Amino acid sequence: MALNALRVVIISTPESERSRVLESTLSGDLRFRLISLNATVANTYRELEELNLEYSQNKFKIFENRLMRPKEIACAYSHNLARKLIKDSNIGGLILEDDARLLDTDKLFEIVSQFLKVKYNTSSILNLTGLNDFKLTSSKKSSFKKIYSVPNLAVGYALTPLAADELLDSNNPVTYVSDWPNSKVKFYIPSINIVVHGDDKTKSYILGNQKDYRIGTSVGYKLKLIFFAPYIMGGFRFTSFLEYTKRDYLDRLFWHLERVRLKVLGYKIHE
């Protein structure tokens, strides 16, 4: 399938200069067709109501033992808007948060073009920050590799129209943060890092100066989930046993095993 200019959706924070770096890098390059999408912003639950933004906290509370913050819900909604633009494309494209930083535009175009050409009729995502934002180097030629874990960042990724449709169906209305709702998409990583998360002039819009509350949950809560899950979840009223097992146990297990697998395949991982 022929591939012309790559569709690139940049999710831009309103009244911010964060996207200028990306725009200045890509705007003059005819290989990329830029679409600027103003991010949906909400600092309070009242603001979410004013935006008529639909969401549910039930499933997220089960898995994470906390509620989604308003900024997280708004971010997930912004990604839904971006994914809709990719869903309506012929072959797919790129979604970049405005603090994504490109390491090599030539490799970006080469690898993403190859990925979309090969995978356009499948539900597939190429996570451009590699595996969980670890630095990857490989002796292999510029290519991509399937992974069996779920990455923990949605800073920059290429996806097919079918993958965009799948993500929209799984998180509309918003029930989970943008990275990543439970779905049947297949994940891939590039053979080398071509996108990194932020630079010395940016910080997470969601976190600000707070500690990353997304990392980890207490051992006690995990034990409760193991032994009392049916009661906590109201008989799995808000999720299924399969989704519960996959997200809370299998995905976490594969996340750790993936690094070992990649090292065996010849990748060097630097944190």
pLDDT bucket at 49, cuts 50 / 70 / 90: very high
Eight-class DSSP state of 38 = E
Rounded to whole angstroms, how far apart are CA atoms 100 and 8?
Answer: 12
- Residue-wise pLDDT for 215-259, tens only, equals 455 555 555 555 555 555 555 667 777 777 777 777 778 877 887
Domains and CATH numbers, the chain: 6-210+236-270 (3.90.550)
Asked whether residue 149 carries a pLDDT value surpassing 90, the answer given is no
Query: What's the pTM value of the predicted model, to 2 decimals?
Result: 0.83
- Residue-wise pLDDT for 59-118, tens only, equals 888 877 889 999 999 999 999 999 999 999 989 999 999 999 999 999 999 999 999 999
| pLDDT of the residue at 227 | 52
% pLDDT > 90, the chain: 52
Pairing mode of beta strands 144-147, 32-38: unpaired
| pLDDT of the residue at 1 | 47
Positive or negative torsion for Cα 146, 150, 153, 157: positive
Q: Are 214 and 229 a contacting pair, CB within 8 Å?
A: no
* Average pLDDT score over residue span 38-53: 96
- Residue-wise pLDDT for 192-215, tens only, equals 888 988 876 665 555 555 555 444
- Phi/psi at 252 (5° precision): -70, -40
Q: Round the average pLDDT of the chain to a whole number and report it.
A: 83
In this predicted model, which residue has the larger pLDDT, 233 or 155? 155
Closest to 64 measured CA to CA, from 175, 228, 171: 175
Q: Which of 24-33, 138-147, 178-187 is the least confident region?
A: 138-147
| pLDDT of the residue at 72 | 96
